[in-house]
Amino acid sequence: MLVVAALLSACGTEKISVPKTDPSVYAGAVIFSQRCAGCHTLSYAGTHGSASNVRSRLITNGPNFNVRCERPITRVLYAIENGGFSGAIMPQNIVVGQDAQNVAKFVATYAGRQAAKTPGALSCEQIPIGSLPSAAAAAAAAASPPSASATTSTTSSSSSSAANQTAKKLAAKKKS
């Protein structure tokens, strides 16, 4: 009985554990906690949305960022803008503007810190976070539609299989 009471009293007590010394990262943690907690786990934001058992997971359970490295920061921003990498469940632009940049910076900084160490492989903390595009570059990119080559080069590292599937679909359409 005592164990159940202790577990119940612990529910919802985890808090954001990011120092306030970098206001944009802390703001990103707060927004992540508010907007992403239902689907993603990241202990630094006090969230537990990922399934702990793959057999009992729901379709809305997103990646566990405690163990999944998400770098560089532009990759995280891409996922925020495009509804993840599959585009199937996560809403596109769940946060936008400066809020999206703050969340991207937070996730890129804190994701993967609890991943198991693999001999010979870089840990997430050893991979550069990168930097966000300047406001002028982001505005220019938003004002003009990306060319096919720019889209391919931007997404090739994270979704080469998606590009292959698209190419196969186009080839199938041409045959019919």
pLDDT, position 49: 86
pLDDT, position 55: 78
Half-sphere exposure of 1 (CA within 13 A, CB side): 0
**CATH node for 14-139+158-171:** 1.10.760.10
Establish whether the linkage from the previous residue to 19 is cis, with ω within 30° of 0: no
Domain-wise residue ranges, the chain: 14-139+158-171
pLDDT, position 3: 40
- Maximum alpha-carbon separation in the chain: 67
pLDDT, position 86: 80
Partnered with residue 41 across adjacent β-strands are: 48, 64
> What are 17-55's pLDDT values in tens digits?
999 999 999 999 999 999 999 899 999 999 998 887 777
Helix (H, G, I), strand (E, B) or coil at 162: helix
Partnered with residue 47 across adjacent β-strands are: 42
Mind listing the pLDDT tens digit of every residue in the chain (176 residues)?
Answer: 444 344 344 444 579 999 999 999 999 999 999 999 989 999 999 999 888 777 777 878 888 999 999 999 999 999 999 999 887 789 999 999 999 999 999 999 999 999 999 999 999 999 999 998 776 666 665 566 555 444 433 433 333 444 445 555 555 555 55
Q: How far apart are CA 17 and CA 116, in angstroms?
A: 21
State pTM to two decimals.
0.68
CA 47 to chain CA centroid, Å, is 13
How is the chain split among helix, strand and coil, in percent rounded to 5? 50, 5, 45
58, two tokens: 């729901």
